[in-house]
Amino acid sequence: MQANERFYKIDKDFRNPYARDRDRIIHSGSFRKLEYKTQVFLNQEGDFFRTRLTHSIEVSQIARSITSHFGLNESLAEAIALAHDLGHTPFGHIGGDTLDECLRKDGFKNGFEHNFQSFRVVSSLEKRYKGFDGLNLTFATLEGILKHSYPYKKNFLPEWIDEKFNLETHPSIEAMIVDRADEIAYMSHDIDDGINSGLIDFDDLRESKLIVEILQKVKSEGILEDEDEMFRYRFSSHLINHLIYSLLEYSKGKIKSSEVMSATISSKDEIPVGFAPELETKIKKLKKLLFNKLYQHQDIVIKMFAGKQAIRGLYGALMQEEKMLPKFFYELLDKKQKHRVVADYIAHMSDRRALSLYNEMYGKL
């Protein structure tokens, strides 16, 4: 035996089950593709805008901090956070909505839903083992990916999922924390990217009481708004900190460190993770403001319209000629209906791959 051989002969996995889930997700092909999937801005529009990959990492960091504070399982929260967007199509939510529209128009009432698609990615579409499909993740991780904070009662889900996951109940506390961490992350970084892009400025957002409060905190540090990069950085930091500390304060009496990490609560119980009602109202108003000022900005709408056309074109072409599917997906036609395989392939694509294939089929978009 060589001197170092003993270090490689480990009879038992040195990681806890949720850390193992996290590692399997990070090493999956679907996770790597998130680098080229839209958050708000298409990947090719600049080096510093967030993508689904950077967003997932930011959600994971926030979720880890919160679960650590409450003495819950950080690895479980991290695994759910890193996988929660794996099912997103190219071109963000508009891509998923368009694919759903295509499927329903063709008579497939189940349509497309990105949470369920994320679940399908890790339980079926990723192929890493000879004997079975999926990444072989734990029940708690799968449940968190599928449900987020709320019961997930969908009529189109296979019966075995309802039986196994009890869709009438909430998921683990860790999954609920990931759901709010997702909200904290995308609000803060969408504002940062929107201002960095020049599509919005802080004057556009001063209608929000929450934004005004955070701006006052930044200015109290003696930083001026014309110090663009520093001001944006400090604004994002203050906004994230304010939301995290507010969540910790409001939730502390409802979450106990002794909670069983995978415990679920009934749909009638109050969700123990959240913000005080007054702050929840401010957050809702800020989201509405971002929708009107940023997500519906002309430049974004034009890019997303191009994304819609690409999704429609790809779906129509692949439904008409399935031999254009790559080998892995073409072979799935023996086991699954064509519409589901086509949807899986399109959802699997990065933005740039979807645009490239569309241009190859129809000419430059």
3-state secondary structure at position 259: coil
Q: Which of 150, 193, 174, 145 is nearest to 65 (CA)?
A: 174
- Note the pLDDT of residue 95: 93
With 80 as the cut, is the pLDDT of residue 168 above it?
no
CA pair distance 87, 122, nearest whole angstrom: 9
- Note the pLDDT of residue 58: 95
With 80 as the cut, is the pLDDT of residue 151 above it?
no
CA pair distance 51, 306, nearest whole angstrom: 18
Query: What's the mean pLDDT in 118-143?
Result: 89
- Note the pLDDT of residue 68: 94
Enumerate the β-bridge partners of residue 90: none
- Note the pLDDT of residue 37: 84
Lowest-pLDDT range, 110-119, 143-152, 325-334? 143-152
Query: What's the mean pLDDT in 274-285?
Result: 95
Query: What's the mean pLDDT in 140-150?
Result: 81
Instruction: Identify the band that residue 40 occupies on the pLDDT scale cut at 50, 70 and 90.
Output: low
With 90 as the cut, is the pLDDT of residue 18 above it?
yes
- Note the pLDDT of residue 167: 65
Enumerate the β-bridge partners of residue 306: none
With 70 as the cut, is the pLDDT of residue 47 above it?
no
With 60 as the cut, is the pLDDT of residue 3 above it?
no
- Note the pLDDT of residue 170: 73
Q: Which of 303, 298, 296, 294 is nearest to 201 (CA)?
A: 294
Residues 6+ apart with CB under 8 A from 335: none
Q: Return the percentage of the chain with pLDDT > 70, whole number.
A: 83
- Note the pLDDT of residue 209: 96
Q: What pLDDT, in 10s, does the model give residues 214-229?
A: 999 999 998 887 777 8
Instruction: Identify the band that residue 365 occupies on the pLDDT scale cut at 50, 70 and 90.
Output: low
What global pTM score does this model have? 0.88
- Note the pLDDT of residue 218: 93
What tokens were used for 236?
Answer: 């994002």
Lowest-pLDDT range, 28-42, 154-168, 287-301, 331-345? 154-168
Q: What pLDDT, in 10s, does the model give residues 320-354?
A: 999 999 999 999 998 888 999 999 999 999 988 99
Domains and CATH numbers, the chain: 17-255+270-300 (1.10.3210.10), 301-362 (no CATH)
- Note the pLDDT of residue 262: 42
Instruction: Identify the band that residue 210 occupies on the pLDDT scale cut at 50, 70 and 90.
Output: very high
Tell me what the pLDDT averaged over the chain comes to: 85
With 80 as the cut, is the pLDDT of residue 48 above it?
no
Top pLDDT among 33 and 244 is at: 244
With 70 as the cut, is the pLDDT of residue 261 above it?
no
Q: Return the percentage of the chain with pLDDT > 90, whole number.
A: 61
Enumerate the β-bridge partners of residue 51: 38
Q: Which of 185, 176, 181 is nearest to 237 (CA)?
A: 185
Instruction: Identify the band that residue 149 occupies on the pLDDT scale cut at 50, 70 and 90.
Output: low
